[in-house]
Structure 1
C-alpha cells in the first residue's frame, strides 16, 4: 500500500513539473542558444525545415524551404538563411538564400540570393541577387540584380540590372539597366539604359539612352540618346542626340543633333542640327544647320543655315542660301535671295543676288538686283529699284541713294 501511495505521489509531481513547460510552450517561451523545430521565439540559433507561426528570432534563423502557406510573418534580427529558400515578415541584418530570400514587410541590412530577393515593403542596405531584386515600396542603398531591379516606390542610392532597373516613384542616385532604366516620377542623379532611359517626371543630372532618352517633365543637366532625346517640358544643359532632340518647352544650353532640334518654346545657347533647327518662340545664341533654321519669334546673334532661314524678326548676323523675315536688324548674307515681307524693314546690311525688301530699307544692300519700296541708305548692284520713288531715281544702275 505504501508503494502505491509513493508511486501516485511521484506521478503527480511529474505531471506538475511537465504542466508549466507545456503552458509556457503554448505562450511562446523564448528558447535560448539552439532551437530545432517550430519554436516561435528564439534568442540564438533556430533550425527548422519549414517555418510556421514564427514570431521573433534574435540571432540566426535557418530553414530549408519557404514557410507554410499563410504563415509568413515574424521578425529576424541577425541572420536569415534559406537552404535553398527562406521568408519571414521582417528581416534586419544578413539575408542569405541559395535560391531566394523574401520578406513580407521590410528587409534591412545585407542580402545575397542566388535567384531572387524581395520584400513587400522596403529594401534597405546592400542586396545582390542572381536574377532580380524587388521592393513593393522603396529601395534604398545598393541593389544589383542579374536580370533586373525594381521598386514600386522610390529608389535612393544605386540600382543596377543587366536587363532593367526601374522605380514606380522617383529615383535619387545611380540607376543602370542593360536594356532600360526608368522612373515613374522624378530623377536626380545618373540614369543609364542600354536601349532607353526615361522618367515620367523631371530629371536633374544625367540621363543616357543607348537608343533614346525621354522625360515627361523638365530636363536639367546632361542628356544623350543615340537616336533621340525628348522632354515634355524644358531642357537646360547639354543635349546630344544622334538623330533628333526636342522639347515641348524651351531649350537652354548646348544642343547637338544629327538631324534636327526642335522646341515648342524658345532656344537659347549653342544649337546645331544636321538638317534643321526650329523653335515656336525665339532662337538666341549661335545656331547652325545644314538645311534650315526657323523660328516663330526672333532669331538673334549668329545664325547660319545651308539652305534656308526664316523668322518674323532677325537680329545680329544671319547667313543662308535664302533668308526671309518680316524685319531684320544686323547683317544678312543670302547668296540666292533675301526677302522681307510686305510692310517689313531691313536695318543694317544685306548681301544677296536678289535683295527683295518689300518695305523700308535703312542701310546698305548689295546684289545683282536690289529692290525696296522706300530707301534710307544705299543700294549697290546691277539694277537698283526704289518702287515708291518717281522719276529717274526709281531705277538706277550701279548705285542708288535715298533718304526717304
Structure 2
C-alpha cells in the first residue's frame, strides 16, 4: 500500500510558494486605492515614480499651539485633518479623513484614526484605520483596521484586520484577521485567521485558522486548524486539525486529526479518525476508520480493514483491529 499519488511530492519538486496568491490580493488593493485611471496604470511604474511632481501642501489651519483643525493637503497635522486627496503627507496625529483616492504617501505615519470614503494609504498606521473600499500600508498596520473590500499591509499586521474580500499581511500577521474570501499571513500567523474561502501562510502558524474551503500552511503549525473542505500543512502539526474532506500533514502530526474522507500524514503521535487513515511512516497512538494504513504501529488500528506494512506476512492485513507484531 502507498500514499495517494496526488498527495505525494514528486522527487525533485520544489516546495510550493504562496507569495503569488498574496501578490494577487495586493494588486486588488492597489487598484482600489490607486488614484490613476486604468489606462495610466499601464505606464512604467518606475518612470512614473521618478517623474512624479512634488505635491502642493496648501492648507487652511485653524489651530492653537499647533493643535486643531486642518483643511487641505498639509504635510503634517495634529488634531483633525480633512483633505480631498492625500499626497506626499508625512505625519498626522489625531484624525485624518481623506475624502477620495489617496495618491502616493510613502512616508506617512498616522497615529490615531485614519479614515476615508475610498480608504487610507500610508506607510504606517497606529490606531484605527477605516476604508470604504480598503486600507493599505506599505510598512505596518498596528491596531484595528477595516475595509469594505480589503485590508493590506505589505509588511506586518499587528492587531485586528477585517476585509470584506481579504485581509493580507505581506509578512507576519499577529492578532486577528478575517476576510470574506481570504486571510493571508505570508510569513506566518500568530493569532487567529478566518476566511470564507481560504487561509494562507508560507511561514509558521501559532494559533487558530478557520476557512470555509481550505487552510494552507507551508511551515509548522501549532494550534487548531479547521476547514470545511481540506486542511494542508507542509511542515509539522501540533494540535487539532479537522476538515470536512481531508486533513493532510506532510510532516508529523502530534495531536488529533479528523476528517470525513482521509487523514494523510507522514507520521502520527496521537489520534486520527476518518474513513481512510493513511500514516506513511510511524504511528504512535490510535487510528479509527474504515481502512487504516501505517508503515509501523506502536498503538492500535480500529476499523473494517487494518494494514501494518512492517508486520509479518499473515498479520499485515487484519479485520476489526491491528497493531505492531
- TM exceeding 0.5: yes
Equivalence for 2:205: 235
Given candidates 238, 243, 246, the residue that maps to 1:276 is 246
Cα RMSD after superposing both structures: 3.0
1:356-401 superposed Cα distances (whole Å, 9 cap, x missing partner): 528xxxxxx6659x9x9xx96xxxxxxxxxxxxxxxxxxxxxxxxx
Unpaired runs of 5+ residues, structure 1, are: 1-68, 81-90, 347-353, 359-364, 377-404
Distance 2:257 2:196 in 1: 21
Look up the match of 1:178: 148
**2:97 aligned counterpart, secondary structure:** strand
Q: Could you say which residue in structure 2 is the equivalent of 1:164?
A: 134
- Give the 3 Å change call, closer, same or farther, for CA 327–133 of structure 1 in structure 2: same
1:314 and 2:283 aligned: yes
CA spacing shift, 1:367–1:305, aligned 2, 3 Å: closer
Indicate which of 300, 316, 319 corresponds to 1:357: 316
Q: Which structure has more RCO (C-alpha within 8 Å, separation ≥ 6)? A: 2
8 A Cα contact 2:198 2:215, kept in partner: yes
Residues 238 and 255 in structure 1, CA contact (< 8 A), matched pair in contact too: yes
> What's the TM-score, normalizing by structure 1?
0.61
Matches within 5 A, 1:121-270: 121-132=90-101, 135-137=105-107, 138-151=109-122, 153-270=123-240
Q: Which has the larger radius of gyration?
A: 1
- For 1:334 and 1:188, locate their aligned partners in 2 and report how far apart those are by CA, in whole Å: 46
Post-superposition CA distance 1:185-213 (Å, at most 9, x none): 11110111100110111111001111111
- Number of positions where the alignment pairs a residue of Structure 1 with one of Structure 2: 271
2:139 counterpart SS class: coil
User: Structure 2: which 5+ runs fail to align?
Assistant: 1-52
- For 1:355 and 1:281, the matched residues in 2 are separated by 30
Could you say which residue in structure 1 is the equivalent of 2:272?
A: 303
Higher strand share: 1
The CA deviation at 1:107 is 2.8
Query: What SS does structure 1 have at the residue aligned with 2:73?
Result: strand
- Aligned with 1:94 (options 54, 64, 68): 68
Q: Tell me, yes or no, if the aligned pair for 1:107 and 1:119 is still in contact at 8 Å.
A: no
When residues 319 and 78 of structure 1 are mapped into structure 2, their CA distance, relative to the original with a 3 A threshold, is same
Larger CA deviation: 132-141 vs 175-184: 132-141
Give the CA deviation at 1:236: 1.2
